[in-house]
A and B are shown apart, each in its own frame.
Chain A
Amino acid sequence: MNARLRILGSGLSAPGLPDIDALAAVLAGGELGEEKPGSGSISLLSPRERRRCPETVRLSMAAAEQACRAAGIDPAQPDAVFTSGMGDLAISDYMCRTLAETPELLSPMRFHNSVHNAAAGYWSIGAGACGDVTALSGASDSLVTGLIEAAGRVAADRRPVLLVVYDTVADGPMRAVWSARHPFACAFVLGVADDAEAAIELHAQEGLRQDDCPPLPAALAERSADNPAARALHLLTLSLDRAHGPLRLAASQGPGLQIEPAA
């Protein structure tokens, strides 16, 4: 199975990587910092909403907004696919702790923010997106899951799709099952690739269980190994025309993906 796509725009939100320009600077030899991305760049939520919304929402929304801006597309327009292995780990921690200690005191707002589609829902509200805004998981394979779903939509619907990939960090006991130390979010607006345009090709790779990607600068390679969502740094690097050779993104179940610039 092959699919051809065009990356119309991309966005990024992670410590030291508040946007694509910051990634380009690191790829050009700059230092990678650890300062957390602020929420100031999110224009689609009011300051009050920005304060009240969960971290996953701030992180993913910043990347999604950048990608739409770079693609020159109204954020309300594209259908959107949000993909995350673990969803909001801080809220899971709060929910499970409260249920263990004082279940009657569970916060109704935290409860409705605990759904896996909270980031998708806040995006739809902030962007005014009334089309389909869905939320997927593939555990550590969520990046591949999201790329296949987005490619399927572009092929079936023949219009651009916003793909948002994010995962955060477990501060509490969930660290035992999710060891990432740095949060990560990125977004792509993916569209139909006409023959004349620069495009990428996705090839399904059965039984691909180990990533095999061109090397990244050490600090970025560390992030990519730290958080499964951050394996998207390889694709962002490819989209900046800075990757040498195809990417092979593994999956623990189902097909992995080989991704390369279209010939």
Chain B
Amino acid sequence: MKDLHIAAMTLTCAAGSGLDALRASLRDGKSGLRRNDYPNCELDTWIGRVEGVENVTLEGDLARFQCRNNQLAALALDQDGFRTQAAALLERHRPERIACIVGTSTAGISSTEQAFRELDGAGKFRPEHVMPWVHTPHTSAAYVAAALGLEGPVQTVSTACSSSAKVFATAARLIESGWADAAVVGGVDSLCLSVLYGFHSLELVSSDPCRPFDRARRGLNLGEAAGFAIVEPRPQASLGRLLGWGETSDAHHMASPHPEGAGAIAAMRLALERAGLAPGDVDYVNCHGTATPMNDRIETAALKTVFESPPPASSTKAWTGHTLGAAGITEAVFSLLSLGDGFLPASLNCQDPEPDAADFILRAGRRQKVDAVMSNSFGFGGSNCTLIMGAA
């Protein structure tokens, strides 16, 4: 396997736009969750909504991609000099040798929902809603490739909540097998009625701010995020290395995890094996930690199976909400920040941890130098992805 680096990254979510804002939120324990104020949604819950998404306009040729998901993607690309970093990448490699791989779960569906609310008298889309580049799961990968001028393979990974963790594995494979020299990877998911009412129908939404790994946790909060990273074998500067990944399936149930966490355990072990690391070499785990009663219980058991004594671990979802198809990139960026900054975020809102998790779930942020960190993402369809990243 080639030595792959993260040459640049950025993240925009409810907890902040750009890395400096996020560092401050993580340090100060400042959650981005707010009482649900998403239009046309009456549910009593909290959401991780990004300010200002509605005000973004995509201009010129990019107007064909106008939807909340791509507006959020555009906001994210504007942070941390990411567009400049992508332009510099295009100086180092030919555009047709740079892949673009974006994870999403619901893509442009909020625009599709609106188009259905505003059907004409014949039950058809009004002309302004006939947007083929918006009403497809592929909208955001296509938008990012067009916005940045990337001409290598363009791919959407859409495996629910593991989507934008898997983009790192896809990038590594395309580079390893010679289809690309470098990749822009990322994840974008924006709030929509489909997931707000959908998770509500499954009785998984909490009416309070979510409390991952707390004994009194009552479910998840939904959020939105967009994040991007450049994966490159020999970059000019490195924020960290992609050491390993594990992708597995539960083969159990569409919406419930395997009761013993078999797929999660296998994903973590595969990632360790690929990284050539022993469990004891991992210094921090950013958990999937959705704050549903079942996820956190099973993830705790899985961690205790893989690690005799799990390293410090936390879920950052009480900062961001569960950003679904963007959760992988969100938490990969948090994991990379912990490598660079030597600061492990708390499992915010976990005051009284489950007894089984009390030994290792961080209830306060901790200054600690870490060399290897793990990030877990598990999704519907039993899709699991674990990433391991190391210091640059």
With a cutoff of 8 Å between Cβ atoms, the chain B residues found around residue A255 in the complex are 96, 151-153
With a cutoff of 8 Å between Cβ atoms, the chain A residues found around residue B129 in the complex are 176
**B112 lies within 8 A of A96 (CB):** yes
Q: Which of A167-206 contact B (CB under 8 A)?
A: 172-174, 176-178, 204, 206
B198 within 8 A of A: yes
**A148 lies within 8 A of B130 (CB):** no
Q: Which of A84-109 contact B (CB under 8 A)?
A: 84-87, 92, 95-97, 99-100, 103-104, 106-108
With a cutoff of 8 Å between Cβ atoms, the chain B residues found around residue A76 in the complex are 251
A219 within 8 A of B: no
| Stretch in B25-33, B172-180, B351-359 touching the partner | B172-180
Cα distance A156–B177 in the bound complex, in angstroms: 6
| Stretch in A32-40, A125-133, A232-240 touching the partner | A125-133
Cα distance A214–B72 in the bound complex, in angstroms: 43
Interface centre among B119, B154, B170, B193 (most CB of A within 10 A): B154
A24 within 8 A of B: no
Interface residues in A, total, Cβ within 8 A: 66
Interface string of B293-332 (1 = CB under 8 A from A): 0000000000000000000000000000000000000000
A113 within 8 A of B: yes
**B137 lies within 8 A of A96 (CB):** no
Shortest C-beta distance, A170 to chain B (Å), equals 9
Q: Which residue on chain A has the smallest CB distance to residue B192?
A: A99
Shortest C-beta distance, A108 to chain B (Å), equals 4
Q: Which of B247-301 contact A (CB under 8 A)?
A: 247-255, 262-263, 266
With a cutoff of 8 Å between Cβ atoms, the chain A residues found around residue B137 in the complex are 84-87, 116, 137, 139
8 Å CB contact of A115 from B166, B249, B262, B381: B381
Given contacts A96-B112, A134-B157, contact A111 B198 (CB under 8 A): yes
**A108 lies within 8 A of B177 (CB):** no
**B109 lies within 8 A of A116 (CB):** no
A26 within 8 A of B: no
With a cutoff of 8 Å between Cβ atoms, the chain B residues found around residue A131 in the complex are 247-249
Shortest C-beta distance, A229 to chain B (Å), equals 13
Cα distance A173–B132 in the bound complex, in angstroms: 12
**B138 lies within 8 A of A117 (CB):** no
**B263 lies within 8 A of A152 (CB):** no
**B201 lies within 8 A of A108 (CB):** yes
B131 within 8 A of A: yes
**A112 lies within 8 A of B249 (CB):** no
8 Å CB contact of A120 from B119, B266, B383: B383
**B135 lies within 8 A of A111 (CB):** no
**B146 lies within 8 A of A135 (CB):** no
With a cutoff of 8 Å between Cβ atoms, the chain A residues found around residue B155 in the complex are 136, 138, 145, 148-149
B124 within 8 A of A: yes
Cα distance A76–B254 in the bound complex, in angstroms: 17
A1 within 8 A of B: yes
With a cutoff of 8 Å between Cβ atoms, the chain B residues found around residue A92 in the complex are 109, 112
Shortest C-beta distance, B295 to chain A (Å), equals 14
Question: How would you classify the secondary structure of chain B's contact residues: helix, strand, loop or mixed?
Answer: mixed
Cα distance A199–B203 in the bound complex, in angstroms: 51
With a cutoff of 8 Å between Cβ atoms, the chain B residues found around residue A135 in the complex are 157-159, 381, 383
8 Å CB contact of A117 from B109, B152, B381: B381
Cα distance A112–B123 in the bound complex, in angstroms: 26
Given contacts A152-B177, A206-B96, contact A128 B153 (CB under 8 A): no
8 Å CB contact of A156 from B109, B157, B173: B173
Interface string of B222-266 (1 = CB under 8 A from A): 000000000000000000000000011111111100000011001
**B131 lies within 8 A of A177 (CB):** yes
With a cutoff of 8 Å between Cβ atoms, the chain B residues found around residue A133 in the complex are 249, 381, 383
Given contacts A125-B251, A172-B123, contact A151 B179 (CB under 8 A): yes
Q: Which of A223-263 contact B (CB under 8 A)?
A: 251, 253-255
8 Å CB contact of B247 from A84, A132, A152: A132
**A97 lies within 8 A of B249 (CB):** no
A166 within 8 A of B: no
Cα distance A131–B383 in the bound complex, in angstroms: 10
With a cutoff of 8 Å between Cβ atoms, the chain A residues found around residue B173 in the complex are 149, 152-153, 156
Q: Which residue on chain A has the smallest CB distance to residue B151?
A: A254
Cα distance A130–B142 in the bound complex, in angstroms: 30
With a cutoff of 8 Å between Cβ atoms, the chain A residues found around residue B337 in the complex are none
Q: Which residue on chain A has the smallest CB distance to residue B1?
A: A156
Shortest C-beta distance, A190 to chain B (Å), equals 13
Shortest C-beta distance, A101 to chain B (Å), equals 9
B113 within 8 A of A: yes
Shortest C-beta distance, A189 to chain B (Å), equals 17
**10 smallest A-B Cβ distances: which pairs?**
A121-B381, A116-B158, A111-B198, A155-B177, A96-B116, A132-B247, A112-B255, A139-B138, A124-B249, A108-B201
With contacts A124-B382, A130-B263, A136-B157 known, what are 17 further pairs, Cβ within 8 A?
A3-B178, A84-B137, A108-B198, A108-B255, A111-B199, A115-B159, A130-B248, A130-B251, A131-B248, A132-B247, A133-B381, A134-B166, A135-B158, A136-B158, A139-B142, A173-B119, A253-B145
27 A-B residue pairs with CB within 8 Å? A3-B179, A95-B198, A99-B117, A100-B117, A111-B202, A115-B379, A120-B159, A121-B382, A125-B253, A130-B251, A130-B263, A132-B248, A133-B249, A136-B156, A137-B137, A137-B141, A137-B156, A148-B179, A152-B177, A153-B173, A173-B123, A178-B135, A204-B179, A206-B96, A253-B151, A254-B100, A254-B152
